[in-house]
Structure 1
Amino acid sequence: MKLIKLCLLLAVALTFTNCFEDNDDNAVAASEINDFIWKALNATYLYKADVPDLANNRFSSDGDYGFYLNQFSTPESIFESLLFDRDNVDRFSFLIPNYIDFLENQQGNSLSTGLEFDFYFKPGSDTEVFGIIRLVLPNSVGDNQGLLRGQIFDAVNDVPLSNTNLSDLLNQNSYTLNFANYNDNGTPDDVEDDIIESTANSTSLTKQAYTENPVFQTDVIDVDGENIGYLVYNGFNNNFENELNAAFGQLQASNVQHLVLDLRYNPGGSVGTAAILGSMITGQFNGEVYSKLIYNEDLQQNNSNYKFVNSFDGNQINSLNLSKVYVLTTDASASASELVINSLSQYIDVVQIGDNTVGKTQASITLFDSPGFGPNDINPTHTYALQPLVANSINVNDEAVPSTGLIPDIDINETPRNYGILGDTNEPLLAAALLDIQGLGRYGQFNNEVKSIKKDMNLKPFEDRMYIDIEDVFIDRIQFE
């Protein structure tokens, strides 16, 4: 029996009768928001040419357009109807019911216990589930309760976990984790003999306001007299670029000869920050093209290049001038994380260790119901916004990240048996990098045919995103006919 991993972002005046309740409990005409959704996607959507209902000549009159909008009783229904090949091509555009909460989350602010989880089916079951704490954010509720990476639980509030109740149980503001033990019954090569044993231990947690610094951990490891930098980076948040630069300053001051960049839990973020990170790893390519963004046929004037830089916001970048970097990934590594690998690999040797990445090469932007869809003068009658795909990210040689993800050079999956301590030289993914650096061969792991499946449990909202910063010039350059 295989363990299945469940891993967990120009108004026309119309008067109609359809209404719905928005997040502020105010009745708003559905057509008002439907109008915003259609026009925003018509103006920006990457796959506009593949969606007949988004064609510029789709409607013969205002009345025809109004009739079309009134067919959809909710914003969700019209939004989904206008996406191209949802299952295969556009897996990532999403509607934002409350942009206030979304922007807070995008800046790293949220109500949180500070815990991130992975989930697996119990051996021998395709419905019963257990979870593993994969990450404990510093100074968070979970951290203050003394919880640790690798701890296992099989129930929440004494309710056994299943593949149907995970989201409801863990999205509560307060809950209790009921812990368990993983017992391999002395047969480490046979998953079918493994058992999840419930215990009487538990911890109660209540979410609190928390701001996450994505620069999670910075270490310098001495191996055979060489300094190896190790950086755990969990999100491309442009509010923390100074903290990222400070981490590289620490590595630079330690004269590291090698870098292990841990992106295993990094779902992506700002394209601009991804370019800055690439410049910190290198430094010898200042001014050269790092990556490109290519828009739809109507917005080719917005195509742009992101270049290697030696400064940002007046700050000198702390660069390592490396010609090789090790990048750790899992099936939670997405978007801007993939951009870094895809872009850097055209200039230096990138050794990817871990699991296949998500496979997201497209960038998105937040669009508001406002003139020009920017963040000013937003329609106050509702809180909907959009995060549609608007551009393809490609490297200097015009290569995109494949939709199947980036395949690691050294394949190692995290499994319930091998969650080590991040930064410990025996942790499997880091150990594999250190062995390769030392030229001692490959890290040996029997992976028990663990199969990883990405499944949206709504446990960390707005994952798998690569976005263009609002302050970038894209919005101002949209041309409306």
Structure 2
Amino acid sequence: MKKILGLLLMAVILSCSDKDDDAFTYPKETTVQNFMWQGLNQWYFWQADAPNLGDDRFTTNEDYVTYLEKYPDPEEFFYQTCYEHSNIVGSSTAIDRFSFVEDDYKTLVNALEGVTKSNGLEYGLARNEGSTNLFGYVRYIIPNSNASTKDIARGEIFTRVNGTQLTDANYVDLLFGSSDTYTLGMADISGTVVTDNDKEVILTKEEGLQENPILVAKTVEVNGTKIAYLMYNGFTSGYNEQLNTAFGQFRTEGATELVVDLRYNPGGSVNSSRLLASMIYGTNTDELYVRQRWNDKIQGLLKKEQLEDYFANKTDKGTNLNSLNLNTVYVLATGSSASASELVMNGLAPYLDVVHIGETTRGKNEFSVTMVDDIDNDYIYRAGRENKINPGNLWAMQPLMGRNENSAGFSDYTSGLAPDVVLKEDLSNLGILGDINEPLFARAIQEITGVSAKRDFTVKMPVNEVSNSKMFTVLKDNMYLDKPVDIPFQ
């Protein structure tokens, strides 16, 4: 059957492509796929390596339309187009482990500001070696959430949802399915043995939950040394002022050492990471924090000031930064620490001693930018331009667009950043976050003072994690660039 082509003419967005610079037309029903292909062809970090994103991929309009129609489901179209350059499509071993899409850009934009639909329970999922059964362990409770009103706390264990044992095969449906309300069946832990008990907790996911990423900010004194402790669970730009206030508190309290707890922090805003790094190290705006590396199309079009981020002396609102001006910082990080968390560690490494306590981090060194169907802005989302977004296409993409390297040019940590002091969390003794007896904090105190409130760091039941609740949020472990990207395309 002869294909019916739409009447809309696709605007030229590329200044340096070849045959795909020609204005192809496309059927209205492939509007989303067209947006995705055009955006990826211009911005995707591995565009040159992805066969279906090549500038000379399509020789005729019919070839282009045939490809757009190949995957009617936009989500499938996106992942196939991104991942087909990998030998294992969509697998965890693919080059691109992190690009994703969302069917409504507003959901994604809200998530960037820390606003989500959640019951407020943050947890990990683990298993005993050799078992397909899973159990959850509570990491922390988000204040002012549904979970904060229930009888459940950090360190507790659950094995069942609505009476069904959690397994490798069913945990996604049971915990992250369509139902907003579920009942957790709790359990006891003794040594390495998990035993069901009769306690049940009913939780409900609610719209509009705002998580302040600063869960704990306090100063403790051990043997005359004042140590600031910051439990920071997400690089959320809306809380930069509060973060600066916390560092002002540390300075007022006379802290001379700092422990930054990023063990559950999956990342977020690059700019928030820059501000945190400045609060730790210093506010010399002539010193380079990180430099971006884009694909070959984009790199040469960006000016030096667009590619480089320097340490800051003020917040975005113009508030003077409260910096501790440290020579050493102690960072608690695990396999759940990713993207902007790793960026802080890597960005600070050329300037001060970063003592990493915990486990090897996730290994996410690429950044992304939110993309929407706003062709006049090169598909880049900008607040205030919502009326310019195609009302017939609300999809958003968050594709990887580049890598951040530190001032020494290092960015190769796709296998994660290895700890200086190896210490896993102990499920039989998770401790209280911010307490000097909590194992990871206690180990940092030992490094700082040579004295510890906890003498034995033997881990009786190490976490053998399968996944965690943050990996099922909209942002997952994404790192996003939140500064303007203005390119003078011809």
Q: TM-score, normalised by structure 1?
A: 0.88
SS in structure 1 at match of 2:126: strand
Equivalent position to 2:106, from 90, 95, 100: 100
Where do residues 336-351 of structure 1 align in structure 2 (5 Å cutoff)? 336-351=340-355
Equivalent position to 1:310, from 313, 316, 321: 313
Residue 141 in structure 1 maps to residue 141 in structure 2: no
Where do residues 53-452 of structure 1 align in structure 2 (5 Å cutoff)? 53-83=52-82, 84-85=85-86, 86=90, 87-121=93-127, 123=128, 125-171=130-176, 172-184=179-191, 194-208=192-206, 209-283=208-282, 285-300=284-299, 301-302=301-302, 304-312=307-315, 313-371=317-375, 372-375=378-381, 376=385, 377-440=388-451, 444-447=456-459, 450=462, 452=464
Which whole-Å CA distance do the structure 2 matches of 1:361 and 1:164 have between them? 30
* Deviation digits for residues 388-425 of structure 1 (CA, Å, limit 9, x no counterpart): 00011100011014111000111111131221110111
Structure 1 pair 295/63, CA: closer, same or farther in 2 (3 Å)?
same
* Deviation digits for residues 23-70 of structure 1 (CA, Å, limit 9, x no counterpart): xxxxx71x2111111100011011111112212222223232222222
Which whole-Å CA distance do the structure 1 matches of 2:26 and 2:478 have between them? 36
**Structure 1 stretch 342-351 or stretch 368-377: which is displaced more?**
368-377
Which whole-Å CA distance do the structure 1 matches of 2:416 and 2:435 have between them? 27
SS in structure 1 at match of 2:70: coil
2:336 alignment partner AA = A
Which whole-Å CA distance do the structure 1 matches of 2:455 and 2:340 have between them? 27
SS in structure 2 at match of 1:367: coil
Which whole-Å CA distance do the structure 2 matches of 1:413 and 1:347 have between them? 27
The answer (yes or no) to whether the contact 1:179–1:198 under 8 Å persists in 2 is yes
Gaps of 5+ in 2: 1-9, 12-22
Structure 1 pair 155/79, CA: closer, same or farther in 2 (3 Å)?
same
The answer (yes or no) to whether the contact 1:360–1:401 under 8 Å persists in 2 is no
Structure 1 pair 456/44, CA: closer, same or farther in 2 (3 Å)?
farther
Which whole-Å CA distance do the structure 1 matches of 2:423 and 2:123 have between them? 19
Structure 1 pair 210/79, CA: closer, same or farther in 2 (3 Å)?
same
Which whole-Å CA distance do the structure 2 matches of 1:336 and 1:443 have between them? 32
Structure 1 pair 15/314, CA: closer, same or farther in 2 (3 Å)?
closer
Q: 1:286 offset after TM fit, Å?
A: 3.2
* Deviation digits for residues 153-192 of structure 1 (CA, Å, limit 9, x no counterpart): 11111111112221222223111111110022xxxxxxxx
What is residue 24 of structure 1 aligned with on the other side?
Answer: none
What is residue 459 of structure 1 aligned with on the other side?
Answer: 472
Structure 1 pair 425/449, CA: closer, same or farther in 2 (3 Å)?
closer
Q: 1:455 offset after TM fit, Å?
A: 4.0
Q: 1:72 offset after TM fit, Å?
A: 2.1
Which whole-Å CA distance do the structure 1 matches of 2:53 and 2:365 have between them? 22
Q: 1:445 offset after TM fit, Å?
A: 3.2
Which whole-Å CA distance do the structure 2 matches of 1:316 and 1:438 have between them? 31
SS in structure 2 at match of 1:431: helix
The answer (yes or no) to whether the contact 2:190–2:428 under 8 Å persists in 1 is no
Identity, % of aligned positions = 36
* Deviation digits for residues 324-343 of structure 1 (CA, Å, limit 9, x no counterpart): 10000111100000000001
1:299 alignment partner AA = I
Q: How many residues align?
A: 446
Which whole-Å CA distance do the structure 1 matches of 2:464 and 2:269 have between them? 26
Which whole-Å CA distance do the structure 2 matches of 1:142 and 1:93 have between them? 30
Structure 1 pair 449/115, CA: closer, same or farther in 2 (3 Å)?
closer
Which whole-Å CA distance do the structure 2 matches of 1:265 and 1:242 have between them? 21
Structure 1 pair 465/402, CA: closer, same or farther in 2 (3 Å)?
same
Q: TM-score, normalised by structure 2?
A: 0.87
Q: 1:456 offset after TM fit, Å?
A: 7.3
Structure 1 pair 150/451, CA: closer, same or farther in 2 (3 Å)?
closer
SS in structure 2 at match of 1:407: coil
Q: 1:382 offset after TM fit, Å?
A: 2.8
2:307 alignment partner AA = S
SS in structure 2 at match of 1:315: coil
The answer (yes or no) to whether the contact 1:133–1:149 under 8 Å persists in 2 is yes
The answer (yes or no) to whether the contact 1:293–1:392 under 8 Å persists in 2 is yes
